Structure 1
Amino acid sequence: MKRALIVIDVQNEYFTGALPIAHPPREESLANVLTAMDTARAHGVPVVVVRHTAPASSPIFASGGHGWELREEVAGRPYDHLVDKARASAFTGTDLGEWLEARGIDTLTVAGYMTQNCDESTARDAFHRGLSVEFLADATGTVALSNRAGSLTARQVHEHVLVVMDSNFASVATTADWAAAVRAGEPLPLTGIWASTRRTTA
């Protein structure tokens, strides 16, 4: 197996801007993102950093604005590729797929924000491209949602996505468990839909 770590949208907007991450607590998830980056660098795992870019007139992620900028802790660490995107998935309208393919990457580890939006979209696209996907439960995070369909706390949104991911699309793990797998050169287990369904009826 050949992994790459993708660090999605760890930008100021999610810390001091209009979309402060609520669960897991943003300082905790950021610390785990940085641990994942450091672990990847120490073990030869390529790191892709993604930055969401909106028009300068946008209320969020306005190109060139403070909210659009990467968190300094991420920007100051070495990484192998920078992807600017305008859609939820880091694959849409970017060179990410080609970049991974050219390097023989077969496993993509997802960290960053937001869990149910850009993280989940990227993970699903990676899965449908034939990649194995790993999803770091404590190095991702989100906000509460409320709209015409209903309301969910940030914890509910986050945990829902983790359960769905591990049922089919991605191996969900803590950063510590992922780091141990990286050191051992081993894949993470995936529960899968059959086992996930049987657990609810046992």
Structure 2
Amino acid sequence: MSNSLSTPAAAPRRALLVIDVQNEYVTGGLRIEYPPVHDSLERIAQAIDAANAAGIPVVLVQNDAPETSPVFARGSDGWKLHASVASRPHALVISKTLPSVFAGTALADWLSKQRIDTITVAGYMSHNCDASTIVDALHRGLKAEFLSDATGSLPYANTAGSASAEEIHRVFSVVLHSRFAAVATTQAWVDAVAAGAELPRGNIVASNAEALERLPVML
């Protein structure tokens, strides 16, 4: 029997991505509904403050659309970063035109130079740019964390059906935790950062097994 002690896991090298926290989602035509936008803004601010205190680089992301666009038009009030994030210290601002923050930007190279292995995602929207960025991160060999109360969704209805903002946010959170990201509250993340620890992660097999256990017994 070996008497050697096991080597503790290295602490995650995190970067906090604050995605598209722009006025369009707060006071504009795409107001975040669930979680309530002012609640999520408080949690986003909490995450930024905790990241800065811990020396975790904060990346602000801004969605750009042409000046003729009805939403996020460059130079418009809706396009501007919300004051609650713009006023806080950050390492980098990235402009994007596609859902994933990695698409057509220098983010991947910047993360590599910073030796980041884990991205923490906050901001909007849960089911669109957040999810796209998280899936892209997995394919690039990065770990991801998703702050479920520092994000948010809108209700949708189209020819495929309809879903409330709460349903969309909840389902995407469940799916992301099954494979793509560690999903947690902002406070749980702050505690993990303080401990230098990873957040617990789910997987497809365990997620499916737990769902089957919760099914009502059919007589």
- How big is each residue's C-alpha offset from its partner over 1:144-174, in whole Å with a ceiling of 9 and x where there is no partner? 0111100000000000100000000000000
Equivalent AA in structure 2 for residue 129 of structure 1? R
Correspondence for 2:60? 49
Give the letter aligned to residue 33 of structure 1. I
One of 119, 123, 130 as aligned partner of 1:112: 123
Q: Which residue type is aligned with residue 130 of structure 2?
A: D
Aligned residue for 2:79, secondary structure, equals: coil
Cα RMSD (Å): 0.5
User: What's 1:87 paired with?
Assistant: 98
Q: Which residue is equivalent to 1:33?
A: 44
- The letter of the residue matching 1:97 is A
CA distance in 2, matches of 1:59, 1:119: 21
Structure with higher Rg: it is: 2
Letter in 2 for 1:125: D
In structure 2, runs of 5+ residues without a counterpart are 1-11, 214-219
Which consecutive aligned stretches of 4+ in structure 1 deviate over 6 angstroms post-superposition?
Answer: none
Tell me the residue number matched to 1:182.
193
Match of 1:10 in 2: 21
> Which residue in the other structure is 2:138 paired with?
127
Q: Which amino acid aligns with 1:81?
A: L
Residue 106 of structure 1: CA displacement?
0.2
- 2:105 counterpart letter in structure 1: T
**How far did residue 194 of structure 1 move?**
1.1
User: Does structure 1 residue 78 correspond to structure 2 residue 78?
Assistant: no
Q: Distance in 1 between matches of 2:83 and 2:147?
A: 21
Name the structure 2 match of 1:173: 184
Partner Cα distance (1:21, 1:151) in 2: 16
State the one-letter code of the partner of 2:134. A
Deviation at residue 22 of structure 1 after TM alignment: 0.1
What is the letter of the counterpart of residue 29 of structure 1? S
* Counterpart in the other structure of 1:65: 76
Q: Who is 1:24 aligned against?
A: 35
Q: Percent identity of the aligned residues?
A: 50
Unaligned runs of 5+ in 1: none
137, 154, 175: which one pairs with 2:148?
137
